[in-house]
Structure 1
């Protein structure tokens, strides 16, 4: 078992896992360490984070000074391989030419998927987030509650390594002692934001991120994660020893050669591969789940290198290809027995696609000028953030409480003397209107590190106008029908984006700063980021308590096909203001435990 070629595939597997990111990596990890024989199929190429991460290189060392390119939309050094909002030969289409109804779909075509480039913000959903409809009558409740997932949040935090603190805030769950690593010290700009935002009633606290601020406790944690399983404990302990604590060397978006950040290839795959129970095949684009006698019998995929179509068998199938990719597979698995696509008797496959509400604003703060030179690189991202603070104006009767929209957002902060990116100096052209010679050098030294960046990340309520379907005429380069997207932000979200802009401007003003780029933008339709651009899409195969109105049950198990499971963001019944990755992993671990139990009871 290990990395295999198409010729080395076994004739049959216990479980086929499609995808290698947060959901697929966690699923394969849990199953393999429990003795289940697993095949992981990854559509993208093999990726080695230890050899492919450009450590200790400044942007000026890169071609084009590290600026964005078509295949590297986040900059030349971004960890993304062969992925992005556009993938050559693999299109998707829009149902409308209206730019406000555009959905931008990010695909990761590499081992580990999006876990290689994500922001690593790891927030637990709170109790309210699992029962939103019960609170305000909008959207859907999950068929599970916070207590169902809390033990798995604990496990994921201990395995992955999450830094942060417990603050006792409403609907922002604390973690039990021993789960979190120490939070890094706040940067100067973050401390100023916390001071001034606090006077506005906005709490700013340490954020939770998947970065090791200290070595993981390889003696204590493995026994808590895998009680009674000595072999799993030994494999996990070794994998933990192979990871180093962060020493603030390289932006996390590049990947991490020392394993200090969470990437599926650094955390989930090593112990799973070492167990001898996992085969991994890259460049295998799954397009169909095969069925026999009402059950999933395996999958069909295209070898992206040769174009050859191959079928492989399994006792169970887990789709973790990313929310919309898993939807595409289900809809393309159309047969006479399943004319609407697989697991779609409810007609809900593809429905209720959601993304995070996003809006950004930047400012320049004179109080942060002329700081003495010092290293503020930190842990590759935010050390602090502002969790949502206005729950008192939500819930039942929200419309009468003066807020104007029903769901909340958190604020992510960017400050400090970060590594300069492409452009002249620190990107001062828009601020100084251009300066030259000695004056330019003075401007750079004076203002470098005095800019603040505020990003809102809020909850979208699922709606009937945001969904994906199979385009009736367009296929990708392999002949696989592609997705067509319908998208519509509701007034709930556009009003939220306008509130973000006003709040950001208030914070910058409280710091004695100036808002840049003509902001704030108080027209929410202009302030809101396009659908999909935050790369938090979830839904499309929501879980529920009723087979007539949902695609999966509380275990992510499809109602129609009992041995077919979804372990990515597709089953999300709502999209809280918390970033979804930690919840995807917790759900996947819980689901994998359920699959193991079903195997032991010979029910799969």
Structure 2
């Protein structure tokens, strides 16, 4: 028997959604609440962070089966991220001389089960970069188009923060932010002394209850394991599971989408063909409309693989832009040693699972040699100890300040080693910049003509290079990090990254914020989607992950994915009511 024999499903759904992350979860939730019959296809397994079989919160480091020696997951054995940059049987490649690292998450809720919960809105300037600077492109919409949906996402999901009135860092509806810890107070004082703002973070973590179905944060600092109290935002717990409970959503796990099916006469989408990851059988689901939310690169792969005589370049790709303008946040980091934080009394500094303070972009790029900004994320404090100091004691070349302030040999073993570890515990700070690149048509993904994955689906090949803009931005990050560490009386650790390694600029894809491969625009010749994230070529096909975004912004993208998906889903509902779809 042919393992890929197509099986016809008898049911026709109102909407088929591919992917259950932020965009797919919001679409499923919005449509289900409106009464639509939805099939939600997820390539990975089922996951509920409140189900005891999945809970990894509040486990000790030594409970790991490998005791920290290595890990089966990208962020550790207890992290709620099933997947990674490399997945067995799911290869991808890059053209010679280029590099891109593609993170995939195979589970209900996708990457939202593991992330920093940094939940910032894009600002007015982020939608009109070309008009303001002449570099890049404008979006076909403005901040005002998204603002009502940002407001509703704030109230529905919950985000803590503070009213600051930065021009391009819009305020929202905020829950009370957690208080800064000692190292954050010192970071804020030092940074502000040299003109760098440090304000409360904006994270989607409930510092107080907002409804009866979710608890509030109990400050275990382990949001990366997904919250058993549903106190942080994960699509699985906050959107997908409630959507299924309406009775209007059929969830199918282990459904690796192969292509979007279309009617050869009308060109309309008719459903989705997927491979059952357990049986390797190919299955078809029928639907009146199709929504892609498989992630930026996966959605591009699906469209490029959905070829037919009517769509020879791939579905929704008459413009030829699908796969192009791929861009990921820039990233660079530095750590420092702060003597004033040594020899402290021990107390619980766990806090929320992420930073309590951050620095929004504060400068005018017109006065700099790069056109886009970045924000700064801070870490440190006396959290749960791991294995080693993580950029601290081992980076000081075996010499440490003695109790008299003079450098001396340290470490070793026995009582001497224990004494040094106790003294230096909590005396380190770290900071990372996350910045906006300039999207380029030359950065793209395409179908690799020579490779398929274990499901028989053609894989992606990447072409990505940082431009001088991003490299100069990383240099500015490193200069700023040293200034901040020094301003708080600290010493930067390690050698300062230089031009030989792009000033510590992370490789493309490593920050996992990629956007742009199915961009929206007003001109069908230069974009794949219109301003409603609806395909120009196929009126019943929509994309609600970050693939439609014209640019990245100097913010994390999840809050914008959620707002955009809500907006698109309600537009689809309206179009169906008007019988336009």
Query: What is the TM-score of this pair, normalised by structure 2?
Result: 0.94
Q: CA RMSD in A?
A: 1.6
Q: Name 2:361's counterpart in structure 1.
A: 388
Q: Deviations over 1:447-471 (max 9, x none)?
A: 1111111100000110122100000
Deviation, 1:422, is: 2.3
Measured against aligned partners, the alpha-carbon deviations of 1:140-196 in whole angstroms (never above 9, x if no partner) come to: 100010010011111111111111111111200011xxx211100001111111101
Aligned residue number for residue 255 of structure 1: 226
Q: 1:406 aligns with which of 368, 371, 375?
A: 371
Are the aligned partners of 1:502 and 1:522 in contact in 2 as well (CA < 8 Å)? no
Cα distance between partner residues in 1 of 2:187 and 2:251: 46
Task: Classify the secondary structure of the residue corresponding to 2:562.
Answer: helix
Out of 461, 469, 482, the position equivalent to 1:484 is 461
* Alignment partners' CA distance in 2, 1:344 and 1:291: 14
- Preserved CA contact (<8 Å) 2:392 2:428: no
Name 1:229's counterpart in structure 2.
none
The answer to whether the 8 A contact 2:101-2:508 is kept is yes
**Is it true that 1:468 corresponds to 2:468 in the alignment?**
no
Instruction: Tell me which moved more, 555-564 or 521-530.
Output: 521-530
Q: Give the aligned partner of residue 228 of structure 1.
A: none
Map of 1:60 onto structure 2: 62
1:158 alignment partner in structure 2: 155
Residue 508 (structure 2) aligned to one of 517, 525, 531: 531
Contact 1:65 1:422 in 2 (8 A): no
Deviation at 1:427, TM superposition (A): 5.7
2:280 to 292, 307, 314: 307
Q: Is residue 550 of structure 1 aligned with residue 544 of structure 2?
A: no
Following superposition, the deviation at residue 7 of structure 1 comes to: 9.8
- Distance 1:189-1:538 versus aligned 2 partners, 3 A rule: same
Matches within 5 A, 1:409-428: 409-423=374-388, 428=393
Question: CA offsets per residue over residues 389-432 of structure 1, 9 Å max, x none?
Answer: 00xx33xxx3xx2x110100000000101212223799623336
Specify which structure has the higher proportion of helix.
1
Deviation at 1:63, TM superposition (A): 2.4
Equivalent position of 1:576 in the other structure: 553
- Paired with 1:64 and 1:431, the residues of 2 have a C-alpha distance of 27
Partner SS state of residue 492, structure 1: helix
Distance apart, 1:522 and its partner CA: 5.5
Residue in 2 aligned with 1:198? 192
Q: Report how far residue 367 of structure 1 moved.
A: 1.2
Q: Secondary structure at the match of 2:511?
A: coil
**Could you tell me whether the CA contact under 8 Å between 1:43 and 1:283 is conserved in 2?**
yes
Question: For residue 180 of structure 1, what is the aligned residue in structure 2?
Answer: 174
Say if 2:166 is the partner of 1:169. Answer: yes
State how far apart, in whole Å, the 1-side matches of 2:230 and 2:119 are: 17
Report the equivalent of 1:221: none
How far apart are residue 34 of structure 1 and its match? 0.5
Higher mean C-alpha deviation, range 265-274 or range 17-26: 265-274
Unpaired segments ≥5 residues, structure 2: 1-5, 399-410
Q: Give the secondary-structure state (helix, strand or coil) at the position aligned to 1:49.
A: coil
- Matches of 1:188 and 1:21, distance apart in 2: 35
Counterparts of residues 161-560 of structure 1 (less than 5 Å) = 161-175=158-172, 179-216=173-210, 218=211, 241-292=212-263, 293-390=266-363, 393-394=364-365, 398=366, 401=367, 403-423=368-388, 428-431=393-396, 433=398, 434-521=411-498, 525-560=502-537
* Residues 328-360 of structure 1 deviation map (CA, whole Å, 9 limit, x = unaligned): 000000111111000000000000000000001
Task: Give me the TM-score of the superposition, normalised by structure 1.
Answer: 0.90
1:230 paired residue number? none
For the residues of structure 2 that align with 1:24 and 1:342, how far apart are their CA atoms? 19
Moved more, 584-593 or 166-175: 166-175
Q: CA contact under 8 A between 1:425 and 1:444: conserved in structure 2?
A: no
Q: Which residue of 2 aligns with 1:227?
A: none
Alpha-carbon distance change, 10 to 167 in structure 1, aligned in 2, over 3 angstroms: farther
